[in-house]
Amino acid sequence: MAVWLDADLRPAPRDWLAIIADQPVLMISDFAEFTADGGVVGAYRVAQDCGFEMNLEALRRSALSISAFALPLSQKSRATIGQKRRDE
């Protein structure tokens, strides 16, 4: 199952993370710092380009698997929450 948590959602996406955490749910959002808060996939837009970052620790906790081909597409993969991004 996949769930899109819109940045304008109330309660905020970070509140939903506590409810859905550790469930087999692919959580995706455009909420700022979504992956740092424990979300699996954070979507973002820079000018006309769209991208995403992945939180591998959150993905592991969700017990979901994702194609190895998707990982290189992620611009800012996080091995663990709180770890610096590759581009920082």
pLDDT band at 15 (very low <50, low <70, confident <90, very high): confident
Q: Which amino acid is at 85?
A: R
| pLDDT one-digit tens code per residue, 69-84 | 887 778 665 554 344 4
Residue 76 pLDDT = 61
Cα 6 to Cα 30: distance, rounded to the nearest angstrom = 6
Q: How many CA atoms lie within 13 A of 48 on its CB side?
A: 0
Domain residue spans in the chain?
A: 2-73
- What whole-number distance in Å separates Cα of residue 33 and Cα of residue 50? 16
| Per-residue model confidence as pLDDT tens digits over 20-32 | 877 888 889 998 8
